[in-house]
A and B are shown apart, each in its own frame.
Chain A
């Protein structure tokens, strides 16, 4: 896992992403805001969605209550 450590904590880059998605954003918008390549943002969001730290609605990602506990 690139974003979520085995002990359940999240990496610094994952925290940066979680902080950005307080409001719903597309992966493209997130990529521009955090300065990370789009492929990396997509991969991180997928992983964080699996861990229920973010949720996706109509192509936009936003932080969940579980995600808020991690930052």
Chain B
């Protein structure tokens, strides 16, 4: 009984949490050995895929590579990860360029010892014990974990949402606002609700914001 309990305890891995420093790592990648701290000062989308040379992952890699330049314009870098060797990654990236015409411009972590995957909770044993799920971690320029998305093995991710998420987070940081459902750049943003009665009374009189009620106000960004 004690052995079972001990074994269960060993399997519990801490999960990364939003708003906290992203777990640091040093990893072998297709661009050499990289540390997470190398990305300080720029945003980073760290994403995992189940395996090289698989069809859904190939479509996703093409998608990520196609938005890489747009992300860079937003001071955001990209880095992939799977439990494959660096040689497999290199061969796959070359294959994607040769057969499908898309150059893979971002580094890919060869996480053969599952160190990074374990730190970030990328392994979902209910789905697969040997492949990482389709996870996305948005890490900001101060290395704080700002967003996480988990998709199953069967479902490719939406690149528009990757861009939208970075745009929304950076808009929040720049203007101190929140963004409503389906927000796109140029849409009105949510003004954080007042947290005192006095502020609530002032808010409903504020001509610079459009209010449905004291707690639900939007405004245009200049």
Contact = CB atoms under 8 A, between A and B. Distances in A.
Given A1-B32, A38-B42, A39-B38, 4 more contacts: A2-B32, A38-B38, A38-B41, A39-B77
A47 interface: yes
Interface in B32-69: 32-35, 38-39, 41-42
Interface of B: 31-35, 38-39, 41-42, 72, 77
A42 B38 contact: yes
A44 interface: yes
Q: At the interface, is chain A mostly helix, strand, loop or mixed? A: helix
Interface in A1-58: 1-3, 28, 37-40, 42-44, 46-47
B60 to A, nearest CB: 21
Interface of A: 1-3, 28, 37-40, 42-44, 46-47
B33 A2 contact: yes
A39 B42 contact: yes
Contacts of B34: 39, 43
B41 A2 contact: no
Contacts of B72: 37
Contacts of A40: 31, 38
A43 B77 contact: no
A6 B73 CA distance: 35
A47 B42 contact: no
Contacts of B42: 37-39
18 contacts: A2-B31, A2-B33, A28-B41, A37-B42, A37-B77, A38-B38, A38-B41, A38-B42, A39-B34, A39-B38, A39-B39, A39-B42, A40-B31, A42-B38, A43-B31, A43-B34, A44-B32, A47-B33
